[in-house]
Amino acid sequence: MDNGKGVDAGLRRELGIWSAVSIVIGTVIGSGIFLVPHDMIRHVGSPTALFGVWICGGVLSLFGALTYAELAAAMPEAGGEYVYLREAYGPLWAFLYGWTQLLVAKSGSIAAIATGFSLYLTTFIPAFDRVSYTVRLPIGPGGGPLELRYGQFFAMALILALAGLNYLGVKLGARVQVTITAVKLGLIAAIIAIGLGSAHGSVANLASSIPVAGGVAGFFAALVGALWAYDGWNNVSMVSSEIRNPQRNLPRALIFGTGAVIGIYLLANLAYFYVLPAREVASTSRVASEMMRRIFGNGGAAAVSIAAMVSMFAALNGSILSGARVPYAMARDGAFFKAVGRVHPDRHTPGVSIIVLCGWAALLVLSGHFEALYDCVMFASWLLYGMTAAAVIVLRRRRPDLIRPYRVIGYPAIPVLFVLGSLGVVCFTLRQAPRESLLGLILIFSGLPFYFHYKRRFSR
């Protein structure tokens, strides 16, 4: 049991409760709040049904946060889920989780956010959308030539710049996270207030609808979109070894942060549908921009682009801050390159791990394949989420002696419901995208040769 002083030599507990909460909120709220309602309404047809999906996805995420809170308070170590899977199921599943995060899930997320930031920036700098160089080989998306745009190089530079910032110190990275998250929340609050107070809005829009197939398939398709927007609430557990008083602050950050995100998403969608009817939300991929354009013209749409970039900047910094702790934890266990487990003697950050994660993410930006790779691991990611939640039950039986400063309320119903929800997402994804799901499993299990190599070396 950790006594709160830190179990990882060199890392320091320098993050307070607001830093932890800002990692949760800042990492979760990225571009999804501005884009996802467009896809969701096309699956469920009406704002009422869409709100039901948002609430269902939020409750499922909150159940996950409540469950993870017990694990985080009991084992406040760097790596989060890597540690929980190791303790519950052994080192193999922990390694496969870490491998997935480094190879695709976290690195692909970082690449996607940085690219999204550069795409929004083209609103103000159109030259970023120009092709800088074309690689005339069939290695681009769809098997065509690979076109390298100026915006991609900017996205790579942004990733590496934030890597450097987080390399300099966790306290510095956390200060940036708190500041940018506060600015982001202020901008989103302004968008919500403008929408709900607009003379262009009408309550009748909330009762509008469009014809869709709907049904169970439509509900799950919309739920996948909502869960993508909610994804990231678990990231704060990855920096557990650097949070002060983790037994108290980790559960608070997970629960309060996730609850705040649910409220923000519901209010934002209420503003969207107050101003825009269902058919207009379904016809535009940039819902927030269209709402503000309706009220203020093109200047309003440009303001949303700025808010989106601030939002994605916070999500990007939070992803780098938290994600680099997973390869570090693997290396500390002897399951990855030894150098990745080093802590900078003066900065007290896992510097090599930050460089490795961000360097790989930058290469994924250049490849143009990160979105396809990220889609492939949706199936496996939720499989691992469900396994992590089930670890609460496994460890209650296997480790009754483990000190648990926080115990999940409603045990075992809350963990079981989250596991069942995860299983539903896994089954739906497997049914709707069997090829991508199979490729995701292949990517994950491609780490097995590395695992057995490091296992033999560590044994020697």
Q: What is the pLDDT of residues 137-166, one digit of tens each?
A: 776 666 677 788 899 999 999 999 999 999
11 domain-assigned: no
What does the pLDDT read at residue 266? 96
What does the pLDDT read at residue 188? 95
39-55: average pLDDT: 94
State what percent of residues in the chain have pLDDT above 70.
94
Q: Say how many residues make up the chain.
A: 460
6 domain-assigned: no
What does the pLDDT read at residue 391? 96
Q: What residues contact residue 279 under an 8 Å CB cut-off, 6+ apart? A: 208, 210
30-41: average pLDDT: 89
Give the count of beta carbons closer than 10 Å to the beta carbon of residue 292: 26
Question: Computed over its alpha carbons, how large is the radius of gyration of the chain?
Answer: 21
Owning domain of residue 273: 17-459
Return the closest-CA partner of residue 29 out of 111, 113, 103.
Answer: 113
Q: Is residue 5 over pLDDT 60? A: no
> How confident is the model over 285-329, as pLDDT tens digits?
889 999 999 999 988 988 999 999 999 999 999 999 999 999 999
What does the pLDDT read at residue 373? 63
240 domain-assigned: yes
Assess contact for 253 and 21: CB atoms under 8 A: yes
How far, in whole angstroms, is CA 38 from its chain's centroid?
A: 20
Q: Which residues pair with 134 in a beta bridge?
A: 147
Where does the pLDDT of residue 395 fall: very low under 50, low under 70, confident under 90, or very high at 90 and above? very high
Distance, in Å, from the CA atom of 10 to the CA atom of 6, rounded to the nearest integer, reads: 9
Assess contact for 271 and 196: CB atoms under 8 A: yes
SS3 at position 12: coil
Residue owning tokens 């190599």: 453
> How confident is the model over 54-108, as pLDDT tens digits?
999 999 999 999 999 999 999 999 899 999 999 999 999 999 999 999 988 899 8
SS3 at position 422: helix
Distance, in Å, from the CA atom of 17 to the CA atom of 101, rounded to the nearest integer, reads: 25
16-38: average pLDDT: 91
Please report, to the nearest 10 degrees, the dihedral formed by the alpha carbons of residues 134, 110, 438, 430 taken in order.
Answer: -120
3 domain-assigned: no
Distance, in Å, from the CA atom of 443 to the CA atom of 376, rounded to the nearest integer, reads: 8
Q: What residues contact residue 428 under an 8 Å CB cut-off, 6+ apart? A: 220, 221, 224
335-358: average pLDDT: 93
SS (H, E, C) 331-390: HHCCCCCHHHHCCCCCCCCCHHHHHHHHHHHHHHHHHCCHHHHHHHCHHHHHHHHHHHHH
166 vs 380, more confident: 166
What does the pLDDT read at residue 140? 66
Return the closest-CA partner of residue 217 out of 438, 427, 436, 440.
Answer: 427
262 vs 12, more confident: 262
The single-letter DSSP state of residue 239 is B
Where does the pLDDT of residue 418 fall: very low under 50, low under 70, confident under 90, or very high at 90 and above? very high
Where does the pLDDT of residue 3 fall: very low under 50, low under 70, confident under 90, or very high at 90 and above? very low
8 domain-assigned: no
Distance, in Å, from the CA atom of 281 to the CA atom of 409, rounded to the nearest integer, reads: 38
CA 49-312-430 angle, to 5 degrees, is 50
Torsion sign over Cα 321, 324, 330, 331: negative
Max CA distance (Å), the chain: 72
Please report, to the nearest 10 degrees, the dihedral formed by the alpha carbons of residues 248, 251, 257, 263 taken in order.
Answer: -120
7 domain-assigned: no
Q: Is residue 4 over pLDDT 70? A: no
What does the pLDDT read at residue 136? 78
368 vs 425, more confident: 425
373-377: average pLDDT: 66
User: Residue 31 carries which side chain, given as an amino acid letter?
Assistant: S
The CATH number linked to 183 is: 1.20.1740.10
Q: Tokens for 21?
A: 């909460």
134 domain-assigned: yes
Domain count, the chain: 1
SS3 at position 132: strand
Distance, in Å, from the CA atom of 322 to the CA atom of 305, rounded to the nearest integer, reads: 26
> How confident is the model over 153-209, as pLDDT tens digits?
999 999 999 999 999 999 999 999 999 999 999 999 999 999 999 999 899 999 999
Distance, in Å, from the CA atom of 359 to the CA atom of 355, rounded to the nearest integer, reads: 6
400-424: average pLDDT: 94
Q: Tokens for 368?
A: 């143009």
C-alpha separations of 277 from 41, 45, 184, 290 in Å: 11, 11, 26, 11
Where does the pLDDT of residue 2 fall: very low under 50, low under 70, confident under 90, or very high at 90 and above? very low
Mean of the per-residue pLDDT values for the chain? Answer: 89
Residue owning tokens 């266990």: 333
141 domain-assigned: yes
29-35: average pLDDT: 87
Residue owning tokens 């990517």: 443
Q: Tokens for 320?
A: 């780098």
Q: Tokens for 244?
A: 């002060």
- Global pTM reads 0.88
CA atoms within 13 A on the CB side of 93: 18
Q: Strand 146-149 to strand 131-135: parallel, antiparallel, or no bridges (unpaired)?
A: antiparallel
What does the pLDDT read at residue 197? 94
Distance, in Å, from the CA atom of 32 to the CA atom of 29, rounded to the nearest integer, reads: 7
